[in-house]
Amino acid sequence: MTSEGIIKCRRGFRPIAALVAALVALLALTSPASAGEPRTILFIGNSFTQGANSAVLRYRPESVNDLNGEGVGGIPALFARFAEQAGQAWEVSHETRGGSTLGFHLNERREKIDAPWDVVVMQQYSVLDPERPGDPAQTAADAPALAQMFTRANPAVEVYLMAAWTRADQVYRPEGHWYGRPVAAMALDLRRAMDAIDAASAEIDGVIPVGEAWNRAMMRGIADPNPYDGRTFGAIDLWSYDQYHASAEGSYLEALVVFGHVTGIDPRVLGAEEKAAHELGIEPRIAEALQQVAAAQLGMI
C-alpha cells in the first residue's frame, strides 16, 4: 500500500475509533454499578488517602462513610463524586490515619474493616517502611494478610494496592533516601515493589499506578518536576507546600487513576467541567489535562 493509501486508511478509521470510544463509555455507564444495588468500596490508608494539606481533606465528607468519624472526605469523596457524575452507584467508605502503615490497619483497626466489601483499595506508607525507607518486607507481609482477611469475608472481593508518587523531599534533599536520583525513580521503585507483592499474593488483584501518572504529568509538561527551583510558568505543582503530600491537583490525579482503574470508566468522560475540579478551584483545562494523563496511564488512549 502506498503512503497516501495508508494515510487515507487511517483517516477512515477515525470515525470508527470515535464510535468504539462512545460504546465503551456507554457500556461503563450501564454496568452493574450503574443500576440496582450499589457496590461497596473501602479505602484504607494514610494522609495520602486523606488528601492532607489541601482542600481535598475536608471535601464533601458527608458523601462517604468515615469509619473513624473524623470528617475526612479525601480521595474516597472524589471517587464518590466522579461515580455520581458517571451514573455509577457506589457506597464509599474509608478507614484512614495519617502516618500509618498497612500493619496499623491490620493490627489496630481490624474490627472496623473486616467486612464483606466488593472492592478494597489499600495505600501503604509513602516510603513503604518508616524505619527502613524503600524496604518492601513489611508491606509484603501486611498487604497479603489484609487481602486474605477481606477475601475470607467475601471471596469475590477485588483488592488493589496503590503505588504512590515520588516525594520531592526524598529526591531533592540530601537526607532523602532517593536523593540525587531522577524524580521519577521513587515512584518506579514503589511500583516494582507493589508488583512483586501482587504477583506473590493470589488475593491481591492489581496495582493502581498513581505514581506513574504523576511521572507522566511531569513528562508532558503539565506538572513541574522540581518544586525547589520555582515553578515553570503554566505548569501545576502536584505537591503540597511540604513537597511531600499532594496538592489539590495531585490528589485529583490520584483519584482519577483510582476511579478509572476500579470502574473501568475512561476518566475523560468526566470532561473539563467536572464538578469536583470546579469545587476545588482546579482550572478546567488542568482538569481535562489530568483526565487525559490518567486515561493514558491506564491504557485507555
Position of cell 463524586? 81
Calpha distance 252→264 (Å, rounded)? 17
8 A C-beta contact, residue 291 and residue 70 = no
Q: 204-215 burial by CB neighbour count: b if 16+ within 10 A, else e?
A: bbebbbbbbbbb
pLDDT tier for residue 20 given thresholds of 50, 70 and 90: very low
Position of cell 525513580? 185
Strand, coil or helix: 130:
coil
pLDDT tier for residue 72 given thresholds of 50, 70 and 90: very high
Residue 13 or 152, more confident: 152
Which range has the worst mean pLDDT, 22-26, 96-100, 122-126, 252-256? 22-26
Q: What is the rounded average pLDDT for all residues in the chain?
A: 91
Q: CA nearest 68: which of 43, 33, 101, 36?
A: 43
Domain boundary assignment for the chain: 37-297
Q: How many CB atoms lie within 10 A of CB 46?
A: 21
Mean pLDDT value of segment 129-145: 98
Given a cut of 70, whether residue 50 has pLDDT beyond it is: yes
Strand, coil or helix: 90:
strand
149-164 pLDDT, tens per residue? 999 999 999 999 999 9
Percent of all residues in the chain with a pLDDT value above 70, rounded to a whole number: 88
Mean pLDDT value of segment 193-213: 98
Mean pLDDT value of segment 204-210: 98
Given a cut of 70, whether residue 200 has pLDDT beyond it is: yes
226-275 pLDDT, tens per residue? 999 999 999 999 999 999 999 999 999 999 999 999 999 999 999 999 99
Mean pLDDT value of segment 119-136: 98
CATH architecture of 37-297: 3-Layer(aba) Sandwich (3.40)
For residue 34, the model assigns a pLDDT of 55
Residue 17 or 242, more confident: 242
Given a cut of 70, whether residue 11 has pLDDT beyond it is: no
**What are the phi and psi torsion angles at 96 (to 5°)?**
-130, 155
| Distance (Å) of CA 42 to CA 49, 79, 283 | 11, 11, 29
